[in-house]
Amino acid sequence: MTKGFNTRAVHAGQTPDPTTGAVIPPLYQTTTFAQDGIGKLRNGYEYGRGTNPTRDALQAQLAGVEGGEFAFSFSSGLAAEDALIRALLVPGDHIVMGNDVYGGTYRLLNRILSVWGITNAAVDMSDAEALAAAVAAGGPDGGTKMLWVETPSNPMMKITDIAALAEVAHAAGALLVVDNTFASPYLQNPLALGADVVVHSTTKYIGGHSDASGGAVILNDAQAAEKIGFIQFAVGAVSAPMEAWLTTRGLKTLGVRMDRHCSNAQTIAEWLLERPEVERVLYPGLPSHPGHELAARQMRGFGGMISVQFKGGEDAARKVAESTKLFTLAESLGGIESLMNYPSEMTHASVKGTELEVPVNLIRLSVGIEDIADLLSDLEQALDAL
Ligand SMILES: *Cc1c(COP(=O)(O)O)cnc(C)c1O
């Protein structure tokens, strides 16, 4: 029987060190491995870019928590995305992505991969007609080979039906990739819902402590996995041992952290709804959210991310973003500490003036695991000052 999530998070890939019995798999801070004769490797370890036991332990743990056969870890989420796309697509292939994907994903596709002939179109994934038309149209040089979605999306918190999207993708002979960074594997497992590939920025919830950058690709198809493994080795955007080790440590407590992120965020979202300064609260845990029922079906909780729009427009949003004391104004998300972000000028500055532009009256909260009363009073003083 498959073990429960927290058991897998703590134990997958985490067997005690065979030589010393160290309960925690050691940090193998090394770039190379001694050979017992030319080509006589110990357990296959040869050179750090290719393989490292600390990275292997993380990869096994990542596969375990997403319920996938194969996992590869990279130096960042974007490095993982780049490796995945260049491993599985060729020039002429076309990607249809959600029209509110992470700004860095949009930039990677439009400024880097498009130059190499991999084209893309952005559509509202929840609009079935627009999606069908975009998938059928393909690109100027070839067909649609990949659908790319984030759910919940960043920062508009849109929820997309992964199982339905997998059907659309497969009917068109395309792969469905889900960026599962916002939900984390504790709340949502896209492979079980029919997706072909899951990507993560492990920099966020999986690492969880804002101290290690990383990315991951997880999938079940052996042939595709071989290609991704080859790019990981041949290009080398791998996790460094220390980063892999920290990420492994973070991932073990993902479940307990997410429970607190979810309950704190639910309370804050409900509190914000009652405030007269607030125009709209975007949080899938609110029954008023258009994706609430779908999220309740395909996720096991609603997550720790909230976006808020203010009646006072850009001025009000900027003022709140700059006047909290516990919520730190910073990019990134998913750490134990609460963060505040003004996407229009920060995380999503790269999509300004494009179809992915974020409203200027919106702030995004990454709700941490601090005491809820302290978080609420911090927000209260910031909103009272408007
Ligand atoms: C941060 C993020 C990424 C990129 O990850 P990096 O580790 O910063 O390279 C991709 N997708 C989402 C949803 C993110 O939040």
For ligand 1, say whether the CB of 181 is within 6 Å of any of its atoms. Answer: yes
Identify the H or E element spanning 62.
helix 53-66
Atom 4 of ligand 1, residue of closest alpha carbon: 77
Atom of ligand 1 nearest to the CA of 104: 4
Residue 196: is its pLDDT beyond 80?
A: yes
Residue 20 CA to residue 6 CA, distance in Å, equals 26
Share of the chain above pLDDT 70, in %: 100
pLDDT at 123: 95
40 in catalytic set = no
Q: Does the C-beta of 304 come closer than 6 Å to ligand 1?
A: no
How much distance in Å is there from the Cα of 128 to the middle of ligand 1? 26
So what's the pLDDT on residue 1?
65
102 in active site: yes
Encode pLDDT of 30-39 as tens digits: 999 999 999 9
What is the arithmetic mean of pLDDT over 129-156?
A: 95
Catalytic entry in 158, 204, 318, 364: 204
Q: What is the DSSP letter of 17?
A: P
Contact predicate 62/73, CB 8 Å: yes
The label of the residue with tokens 């990949």 reads: 146
User: 347 in ligand 1 pocket by Cβ < 6 Å?
Assistant: no
Report pLDDT digits (tens) over 39-75.
999 999 999 999 999 999 999 999 999 999 999 999 9
Instruction: Return mean pLDDT, the chain.
Output: 96
Instruction: Give the torsion sign (CA, 209, 214, 218, 222).
Output: negative
Q: Is 28 a catalytic residue?
A: no
Residues composing the chain: 386
- DSSP 3-state assignment of 50? coil
Rounded distance between C-alpha atoms, residue 214 and residue 62, angstroms: 12
204 lines ligand 1 (CB under 6 A): yes
